[in-house]
Structure 1
């Protein structure tokens, strides 16, 4: 699910004293809250399938879950009922895990049938993260873009991030109640007052942190549990304050409808994609709070009449299953169909199938497991149910990953996969002609080349705020030179060739990268946030470090154009670098394509014409940096196009090696087969500036 529309998993009605389902007829049961949950999940589903803005459903679910939990635990504290946290946790997860496990297994089956192998490894990793409730942290570390409009590039398990956050809070919140119980006894203060103080602190601290981190690192903040705690705390504070709220009937009627209208208006009124979950999330949470405070009015015009409508309440019962299934169904459909979004009729079909699945699995899987009296009697029996569900997922998942690893280990053989070496004049093929392609489709996610060590010591970049997170190094003793690679992902891919050259020639190597930010002088037209600042900091850092060699990609191609063009601001940046005494290496950009090359090979075969392109339709006839290289002696151009697109044609496979890992990035495996020729051309270009005797 994308962050624009994702919600946390809808919680079903449970008695938090035992973790078992609560009866709709029990005193205090609030039909309007169940209807509110159903409305929120419908918002999430509709926004995922058709629309392109934040729905606010995620925030509503977080608030509701904390509200209900707080009502139950506060009642326990005030009546002296033992909290019995272990019993609560095992019963709760006995209810949550089975449906999650079923969704994961069914989704894995669909992945096996419909999803290209190149995406398997990441998806399998996310399946583990989903099962073990740390999916949000995995996505945060990987800085996944939850505002991406193309859902076909997402993982079918991305929506488990919210379930992970909720699972973590379901562990944390009861501990806070236990702390409140101790403090209440120790200081003889009302438990409710202690709880107001505790959740007030959580609300204030988390909201402040959320605003700060959303402003500084929104991609991480979206998945960070800490930035979401205030929404849970707000739900808890409402539950604690509700008994003391006395509003006239008419005011409650107006408040309820105002809350519903405000909640539904979030995605239509606000352009908030890059602001969640900061202060802007107060809109949907306060809107939901208004509905809860309005409560059950029994007025013929009250919003509770609408929210208590039986079909809506029934959908609220199945909202957990609906949330779980709709996203993988949507994503796998888009992947299989090669589409970025669902149309009207496809979307209706996806929603209909999702609702049918939710109703059926809730009735015949979820409810029977929750009502297992055998498991509810003893904690260890509930733990057995959880363990069985974990094995239900873990065994096939582990076997699948083991098979991938074994196949990759057995396939690696340079004799069978010469890559660019096969283009050398007089090359004689040898090895197994029927050997599998390298890299294997299931290993494409490991084709990103990075240096393992973060910049430190003399190369520390922490004084340049936007540089440090993308700065890595490899150092040697008594280095002959300092080489620095700067730019976005296309310069980064060439580290697969530059690093072995640096090691052979005893160079220190530093890589400065920022995704989607081409290197050049600041130009005032940023492709991504802080790109101009990053470029300015890079120039300052280079001036401080005084490198001998600076590697860049000087041009930029695009799959919709028939040429590549000099990067804006490149000449100005080059002049500054060369004025400081460095030799500038300008690598020409590689062609980019409208199709994912490995997936094209997998689906159509490497000989299919749809997987091959003429270089004349992707790059300019003359290298865009050639004119600059002729004017500046310290600017050295390297063009590897003839090894990527031999004889004017760009094939997906050369020498039994996949040339590309996607639609625009060269595979590390193929670049490694170009290293000898890359090094030869580098030192030929450097000429007298190169290190004598080091060229191969």
Structure 2
């Protein structure tokens, strides 16, 4: 590259090769999703192009001295984006009603709201969703809206930053481009550094984190800003263009995009795509721009937005309906063909008419945006309200209607059949995660605030006025016991604190754990020692879905001995049985308990492996609540007219709550805490 004087104020010029590159990016996304079981990096290229084109728009306004008109811009933007979104969301909700098991409805409802209001990425980040899940058939049909949410958030932020750049340039009597370059260069550096660090410590969260993606948009902006200063010889542009295109297309095969992005590894496809954009029009029939300007490819670029919207829900709904984990050659081709047809129809009859035929006024745009939101919000709210009425009726049932674990404890006599509905309902099963209401204060978290922030909650009872303090620590299998620990704490005036990190067993940090889990365990041990609670409570074994075996959590015995040395009592409970299939899906597909239950002897060993813990930390208090989950002979998906499992390994909060007060007696006998109230 060589520098030259900047050109005069940028003129609007159509770049067909960029539209062709956009088409290739979305094709990569579609093809990789459907056939190659991988994430391609095409979304990152798509985001880069969007930022590049957005920047060109504001550069023209700044250099021509035109008003930015931010409110008008935002309203017109979402007037253009939302109609296609609304159409896809409504179609997906209809397909959900027809083809998706009821147990997955609530998840799709939540993601519909999040997609409509461009916060889907934050919802997925908080749930630390694996974008590709175990297979696409178990993924949400709306997960792909995460990238559109990030894009929408940036489209709100970027114009503000352009306005700030313009004001600073005017005040300092400087040109717009250098000032904007400094601002967006700083964003690029800060966001890339944050992205690298966050990807290393918590990649599943970083994947959806807007802050970890800002540098990708900033790169597109910087490319647009420097474009007039760059001059590349024609031969170099031809060679660089083809090399860069090969890098873009091969990145998804050579890189583990899903597990390594958006850290520095994402520079591969972005720099490659940026090279193509900077190389520009070579004027040669041998240049990559000649291929990217091919009319069918450019026309595909015109419908690329709608194609991205349609391909994923069609794929997921198809796999869910057919109970398959992947699409074959023929079914995949059919999915792509259907996606293309719907994308064309959506663009021609929905997106383009709204964009070009409605008057370009702020009032019309505001009305259009409002109508779009209401078109989804009204039927979705009605559907959810109807389900809530059903749930409220079920929750109003008596203990004799839904005894749950009380049947296994012998408190309530078992009945062969129940006329009352089973609770929790299938539609609300994915909301059956126990939690505590209050977040831990920053002061309480010191000195581990940075690591534990967002992973700590409590029941709001001040330790200075409580009778005891108990910390529940570990992963989601420790979390589920909050369903019974919470009422136990409330009944006995305990402060209850939860330190939870998904997929991270509690124990001393081990090299075999991911970096984020090691940091969490290190911080959790420090926090517990500083807090000096009366006891901690955690899950101390790991059950295995494919064998009747459970093993001691690595690192737990050493952690138990360490905390006991500080005078802190350690209470551990055996893991619940896990399965190789989803219990709720099995029930919905087979309709019978017998088809989904398993012999108890096939799920866990007869005797818990507690000796391996007691040999190292002999004072550890150990509980085994398997008799409250399984009968003497079998482990069933429904016990006492209650669903036992959310999925293949997590207990429902409602069922765990039904263990009280049997669990209370078990806890008192094991700990010797005679002050526990009956």
TM over 0.5: yes
1:21 maps to none
Deviation at 1:533, TM superposition (A): 4.4
Partner residue in 1 for 2:582: 596
Deviation, 1:612, is 0.9
Which moves more between the two structures, 528-537 or 591-600? Answer: 528-537
Choose 326-335 or 93-102, whichever is displaced more. 326-335
* Structure-2 residue corresponding to 1:384: 367
Aligned-pair distance for 1:631? 9.4
Is the aligned partner of 1:624 residue 2:609? yes
Distance in 2 (CA, whole Å) between partners of 1:378 and 1:274 is 44
Q: Which residue of 2 is the match for residue 551 of structure 1?
A: 537
Greater alpha carbon shift after TM alignment, 133-142 vs 31-40: 133-142
| Contact kept? 2:569, 2:620, Cα under 8 Å | yes
**Cα distance 1:189–1:552, how it changes in 2: closer, same or farther (>3 A)?**
closer
Cα distance, 1:427–1:51 mapped onto 2, change above 3 Å: same
Question: Equivalent of 1:520, from 495, 507, 517?
Answer: 507
Find the partner of 2:572 among 581, 586, 599. Answer: 586
Q: 1:62 to 1:642 in 2, by over 3 A?
A: same
Deviations 1:162-195 (A, max 9, x none): 1122222223333333334434444443333433
Do 1:461 and 1:471's aligned partners in 2 also have CA atoms closer than 8 Å? no
Paired residue for 2:18, among 33, 40, 45? 33
- Decide which of 637, 643, 651 is 1:652's aligned counterpart: 637
CA contact (8 A) 1:258 1:290 kept: no
Q: CA deviation at 1:324?
A: 0.2
- Cα deviation digits, residues 131-186 of structure 1 (max 9, x gap): 11222222223332336453333322121121122222223333333334434444
Whole-angstrom distance in 1 between the partners of 2:212 and 2:600: 47
SS in 1 for 2:498: strand
Deviations 1:410-455 (A, max 9, x none): 2112332111223354735799942211111122232111122233
Indicate the larger mover: 60-69 or 135-144: 135-144
Change (3 A) 1:187 1:493: closer
1:49-64 matches, within 5 Å, as: 49-64=34-49
Q: Secondary structure at the match of 2:376?
A: helix
Aligned counterpart for 1:480 among listed residues 467, 470, 482: 467
More divergent stretch after superposition (362-371 vs 38-47): 362-371
How many residues are aligned here? 665
Partner of 2:276: 291
Distance across 2 between alignment mates of 1:578 and 1:625: 17
> CA–CA distance in 1 between the matches of 2:502 and 2:373?
37
Partner of 1:199: 184
Q: Which moved more, 1:486-495 or 1:73-82?
A: 73-82
Take 1:240 and 1:84, find their aligned partners in 2: how far apart are those partners? 21
1:642–1:648 contact (8 Å) kept in structure 2: no
Instruction: Find the partner of 1:493 among 453, 460, 480.
Output: 480
Structure 1 equivalent of residue 3 of structure 2: none
Are residues 436 and 189 of structure 1, via their aligned partners in 2, closer, same or farther at CA, if it must alter by over 3 Å? same
Q: Report the Cα offset of residue 633 of structure 1.
A: 6.1
* 2:219 counterpart of 1:223: no
Q: Deviation of residue 302 (structure 1)?
A: 0.8
User: Do the aligned residues in 2 keep the contact of 1:626 with 1:637 (CA within 8 Å)?
Assistant: no
Contact 2:448 2:523 in 1 (8 A): no
Give 2:135's aligned residue.
Answer: 150
**What's the CA shift for 1:261?**
1.2
Unaligned runs of 5+ in 1: 1-16, 18-25
Q: Distance in 1 between matches of 2:165 and 2:512?
A: 53
C-alpha change, 1:165 and 1:629, in structure 2 (3 Å) is: closer
Larger CA deviation: 421-430 vs 514-523? 421-430
2:101 is matched with 116
Q: Does the 8 A contact of 1:114 with 1:332 survive in 2?
A: yes
Partner of 1:14: none
Would the alpha carbon gap of residues 593 and 82 (structure 1) be closer, same or farther in structure 2, given more than 3 Å must change? same
1:506–1:197 distance in 2 versus 1, CA, 3 Å: closer
- Classify the secondary structure of the residue corresponding to 1:647: coil
Alignment match of 2:517 (pick from 531, 536, 549): 531
Aligned residue number for residue 242 of structure 1: 227
What displacement does 1:459 show?
Answer: 5.0
| 3-state SS of paired residue (1:560) | coil
Change (3 A) 1:428 1:387: same
CA contact (8 A) 2:131 2:258 kept: no
- The residue that corresponds to 2:6 in the other structure is none
Q: Distance in 2 between matches of 1:247 and 1:628?
A: 68
The match for 2:248 is: 263
Q: Which residue of 1 aligns with 2:660?
A: 675
What secondary structure is seen at the aligned counterpart in 2 of 1:509? strand
- How many angstroms apart in 2 are the aligned matches of 1:458 and 1:29? 55
2:548 is aligned with 1:562: yes
Q: Determine the C-alpha separation between the residues in 2 that align with 1:114 and 1:503.
A: 42
Distance 2:524 2:186 in 1: 40
Q: CA deviation at 1:203?
A: 2.7
Identify the residue that residue 503 of structure 1 maps to in structure 2: 490
Q: 1:556–1:566: 8 Å Cα contact kept in structure 2? A: yes
What SS does the aligned partner of 1:301 have? coil
Shift of 1:672: 1.1
Distance (Å, rounded) in 1 between the aligned partners of 2:554 and 2:168: 62
Deviating more after overlay: 499-508 vs 462-471: 462-471
Change (3 A) 1:456 1:313: closer
Correspondence for 2:118: 133
Counterparts of 1:536 and 1:83, CA distance in 2: 50
1:518-558 Cα distance to aligned partner (Å, 9 max, x none): 223444322x4343444344444444444333322222111
1:322-368, Cα deviation, whole Å (9 max, x unpaired): 00011111222233333333333332222222122212322232223
Identify the residue that residue 92 of structure 1 maps to in structure 2.
77
Distance in 1 (CA, whole Å) between partners of 2:480 and 2:540 is 14
Could you tell me how far 1:681 is from its partner in structure 2? 1.6
Whether the 8 Å contact between 1:200 and 1:237 is mirrored in structure 2 is yes
> Are the equivalent residues in 2 in contact too, given 1:461–1:468 (CA < 8 A)?
no
Note closer, same or farther for the CA distance 1:289–1:422 as it changes in structure 2 (3 Å cut).
same
Q: Take 1:533 and 1:180, find their aligned partners in 2: how far apart are those partners? A: 39
1:3 aligns with none
Alpha-carbon shift at residue 407 of structure 1 (Å): 1.6
SS of the residue 1:675 aligns to:
coil
